[in-house]
Chains A and B, each alone.
Chain A
Amino acid sequence: MIECIQRVGSVWQRNLEAFLRTYRVNFIPPFIEPLLYLLALGFGLGTYIEAVDGVPYPVFIAPALVSISVMNSAFYECTYSSFVRMYYQKTFDAIIATPVSIDEVIAGEMIWGATRGVIYAGLMLPVLILFGVAAMPSSLLLIPFAFIAGLLFAGIAMCFTAITPSIETLNYPSFLFITPMFLFSGTFFPLELLPDAVRCAALAALPLTHVVEINRAITLEAVSAANLLNLAWIAVATAIFCSLAIRLMRRRLVV
């Protein structure tokens, strides 16, 4: 068991070291992008919006920005970046010639994807605190929760990576799944505005809705029992997608 963790860890550490080697390009964008959204939407457009459910608009969208950033970092890490490592760099082939198995490689990749979510959430938090749009100290919980949410999106992403024929076809999940989620998961307007049927569909099929609800409860210091349902949904979906990803990858790579 310890050896298994070490092997998964060796894959994770490989990615961490590669990430740190190019830390400048890796650290600036996650810092800048939410800042732009916060300025344009929160403090720009937001001046026309008095309040959403009694909450100032920048405060309303702040937890959504963290959620989106976690989703994007984990999802894109485990789609495009993992695909490049698997298909173009043959890094997975090199690793499975050692005692590390393909299952452990994929587990390490997904845990690394989740770790990127944590890093990005950690980078964003000081910005949100600076703008006074995240309550402290409860908002510190954003960071550990970013790992759970990150693992969910990493698992989903890895399933797509396992079945995609080429790097171009990864654009489908990117535009047809990630973009709608970005807009319709209670991110920039409350889910309650949607017709009941659409709202239920969003809760059932868009993982980001659950992540946004939990993150919003954290930054508004309003965690309730209802959030346990969100957490349960995330836990079940994460377990399903992560194990499915390993199975699909085994099918793709063990021939």
Chain B
Amino acid sequence: MGMHPLSWQTRDPDQILYLPAVQSAAPRTPHREARRAKECCIQKNPSLILEGERIGDIIAAHDLEKRFGDVAAVDRVSFRVREGEVFGFLGPNGAGKTTTMKMIQCISPKSGGSLEVFGMDVDTHPREIKSRIGVVPQENNLDPDFTAYRNLLVYARYFGIPKSVAEERAERLLGFMRLEEKRDVLIEKLSGGMKRRLIVARALVNEPELLILDEPTIGLDPQARHLIWETLRGLRAEGNTLVLTTHYLDEAERLCDRLVIMDHGRILIEGAPAEIVHEYAGNEVIEIERTEKTAALLDKLGVAYDVAGDMLQVFTDRADEIVGELLDLCRHEAAITVRPATLEDVFLRLTGRKLRE
């Protein structure tokens, strides 16, 4: 059987974890994990969103929708972001993360459903909402006509912040983001990491209650990423609410209290990173070199596995047992490794291995 190297195949039909279908149609053979996924999908009970826990919710979206012509970029998603948490949106390119961010920022009108930020409707109170949020956009849109310091001052003026207050904040934020030395340097002379830090500083100039970060560490070196993470954790410790999108699963695992994984405009799952990993990938992953023999062995043992390129992956809570059996049967014939499951495993299982443009 010909197999595309990037394809992800599951041999046991009962093991097919085809989550994109979960929301639209029940899988043929409901599996424990798939069933849990369905329960976890926050489509579960709209009344929960409308009634319960509204107090303390910074963002409440219900059946939120964004259409471009016939295409649903965001397809009736519901989620709540609580005060003081770091909430992540994960998903491949084109999943609808940025579009969702733009609707929260009140710069892209929604096509349907409801969306409240700070308890206010985004359609009727955009100005009030925007004055209380800080935005780190995906693209660097610092003002190239000005120095780092003036960028902050000019930006503060858009919020109507008095000059003396803005000057004091600009100095403090430059220090906070370790950019004091670049105070009077034009934007084009800053490195990628410095620009990103300056954008974070700029997003804080209005002392926002909610910070929205769209791919905050994209294209940064490890040092710069760690500095941004440190900053974000510091902001969270001060009680700020943070919403971020990211492609980096380690970033999400480190930073997020809760997260959703989106694909094709829909939310597939929601939960705390550790819970998600445990539920959708188990505790450990056994990776076995893919040969005819190893595949046949697993079949014989009745162990379900996924095919990932030249590897077979077994997601399990009883790795010792399975590895023991495997070693007995094919020692020295195939490489076997065991490692803890990560968010990346969940992500790839849910969204597939096909490349996205």
CB <8 Å contact, A93 and B158: no
**Inter-chain contacts of A224 with B (CB < 8 A):** none
Query: B130, A97: Cβ atoms under 8 Å?
Result: yes
Q: Select from chain B the residue with minimum beta-carbon distance to A19.
A: B145
* The residue from B68, B142, B146, B206 contacting A17, defined by CB atoms under 8 A apart: B146
A90-B139, A255-B108 as given contacts; A99 in contact with B145, CB under 8 Å = no
Do A6 and B145 touch across chains, with their CB atoms under 8 A apart?
no
Please determine whether A98 and B107 come into contact, CB atoms closer than 8 angstroms: no
B143/A91 in contact, CB under 8 A:
yes
Residues of chain B in range 116-138 having any CB-CB distance to chain A below 8 Å: 126-127, 130-131, 135, 137
Q: Name the one of B107, B144, B157 contacting A97, with C-beta atoms under 8 angstroms.
A: B107
Does A14 interact with chain B (Cβ within 8 Å)?
A: yes
In the complex, chain B residues 147-206 whose Cβ is within 8 Å of any chain A Cβ = 150, 154-155, 157-160, 206
- What mask results when residues 69 to 113 of chain A are scored 1 for a CB within 8 Å of chain B, else 0? 000000000000000000001110111111111000000000000
B141 adjacent to A91 (CB under 8 Å): yes
Produce 1/0 per residue, A2-16, CB < 8 A to B: 010011001101100
B109 contacts chain A at the CB level, 8 A cutoff: yes
| B141 & A93 in contact (Cβ 8 Å cutoff) | yes
The 8 Å CB contact of A100, one of B108, B109, B141, B158, is: B158
Cβ-defined contact, A7 with B158, below 8 A: yes
**How far in angstroms is the closest Cβ of chain A from B112?**
16
* Distance of A10 from chain B, by nearest CB (Å): 4
Are A99 and B160 CB-contacts (below 8 A) given A89-B141, A89-B143? Answer: yes
Taking residues whose C-beta sits less than 8 angstroms from the other chain, chain B's interface range is 20 to 34
A1 at the interface (CB under 8 A from B): no
Task: A97 to B141: give the CA distance in the assembly, Å.
Answer: 11
A-B contact count (CB 8 A): 67
Interface flag for B342 (CB, 8 Å) = no
Q: Cβ of A10 and Cβ of B157 under 8 Å apart?
A: yes
Interface check A24, CB cutoff 8 A: no
Does A21 lie within 8 Å of B137, measured CB to CB?
no
Q: Look across to chain A and name the residue whose beta carbon is closest to the beta carbon of B205.
A: A98
Inter-chain contacts of A18 with B (CB < 8 A)? 143, 145-146
At the interface, yes or no: A254 with Cβ under 8 Å from chain B?
A: yes
For B160, give the chain A residue with the smallest CB separation: A6
- With A14-B154, A99-B130: A89-B108 Cβ-Cβ less than 8 Å: no
CA distance A21 to B143 in the complex (A): 13
Bound complex: CA of A14 vs CA of B158, how far in Å? 9
Contact B146 A94 (CB under 8 A): no
Residue from B68, B139, B154 with most neighbouring chain A CB atoms (10 Å):
B154
Min Cβ gap B245→A in Å is 15
Is the CB–CB distance between A101 and B141 below 8 Å? no
Tell me how far the C-beta of B214 lies from the nearest C-beta in chain A, rounded to whole angstroms. Answer: 11
The minimal Cβ–Cβ distance linking B118 to chain A, given in whole angstroms, is 14
Complex formed: what's the CA distance from A3 to B105 in Å? 20
- Chain B residues whose C-beta falls within 8 Å of the C-beta of A91 in the assembled complex: 141, 143
User: How far apart are the CA atoms of A11 and B68 in the complex, in Å?
Assistant: 30
Q: How far is the CA of A14 from the CA of B150 in the complex (A)?
A: 10
Tell me the nearest residue of chain A to B136, going by C-beta: A97
Distance between Cα atoms of A254 and B107 in the complex (Å): 7
Contacts of A97 in B (CB 8 A): 105, 107, 130, 135, 137
Q: A91–B187 Cα gap in the complex (Å)?
A: 13
Q: Quote the shortest CB–CB distance from B138 to chain A (angstroms).
A: 10
Most-contacted residue by chain B among A17, A18, A99 (CB, 10 A): A99
Per-position binary interface string of chain B over residues 100-114, scored 1 when its CB falls under 8 Å from any chain A CB and 0 otherwise: 000001011100000
Residues of chain B contacted by A99 (CB below 8 angstroms): 127, 130-131, 158-160
CA distance A55 to B206 in the complex (A): 60
Provided the pairs A17-B150, A98-B130 are in contact, do residues A254 and B158 lie with their beta carbons within 8 angstroms?
A: no
Which residues of B sit under 8 angstroms from A93, Cβ to Cβ?
Answer: 107, 137, 139, 141
Determine whether the beta carbon of A94 is less than 8 Å from that of B141.
yes
A21 partner residues in chain B, CB cutoff 8 A? 145-146
User: Within 8 Å CB of B206, what residues of A?
Assistant: 98
Interchain CB contact under 8 A, B108 and A98? no
Residue on B nearest A15 in the bound complex, by CB: B145
- In whole angstroms, how far apart are the Cα atoms of A95 and B157 in the complex? 10
- The closest CB in chain A to the CB of B107 belongs to A96
Across the two chains, which residue of chain A brings its CB closest to B151? A94
8 A Cβ contacts from A232-255 to B? 254-255
Knowing A14-B154, A89-B143, the reply to whether A254 touches B160 (Cβ < 8 A) is no
Min CB distance B203 to A, Å, is: 9
The answer to whether A7 and B145 have CB atoms under 8 Å apart is no
Given A14-B143, A17-B146, A89-B143, A95 and B108 contact (CB-CB distance below 8 Å): no
CB nearest neighbor in A for B187 = A89
Q: A7-B160, A95-B158 are in contact. Are A254 and B108 (CB under 8 A)?
A: yes
**A17–B142 CA distance with the chains assembled, in angstroms:** 15
Which B residues between 31 and 83 are near A, CB-CB below 8 angstroms? Answer: 68
- Residues of chain A within 8 A (CB-CB) of B154 are 10, 13-14, 17
Q: Are A254 and B127 within 8 A (Cβ)?
A: no
Q: Using A10-B158, A17-B154 as known contacts, say yes or no to A94 and B143 having CB atoms under 8 A apart.
A: yes
Q: Name the residue on A nearest B153 (C-beta).
A: A17
* 7 extra A-B contacts, CB within 8 A, seeds A93-B137, A93-B141: A7-B160, A18-B145, A21-B146, A89-B143, A90-B137, A97-B135, A99-B158
> What is the interface of chain B, defined by CB distance below 8 A to chain A?
68, 105, 107-109, 126-127, 130-131, 135, 137, 139, 141-146, 150, 154-155, 157-160, 206
4 closest Cβ pairs, A-B complex: A90-B141, A98-B158, A18-B145, A94-B141
Name 5 A/B residue pairs within 8 A (Cβ), A-sorted. A89-B141, A93-B141, A94-B142, A97-B105, A97-B107
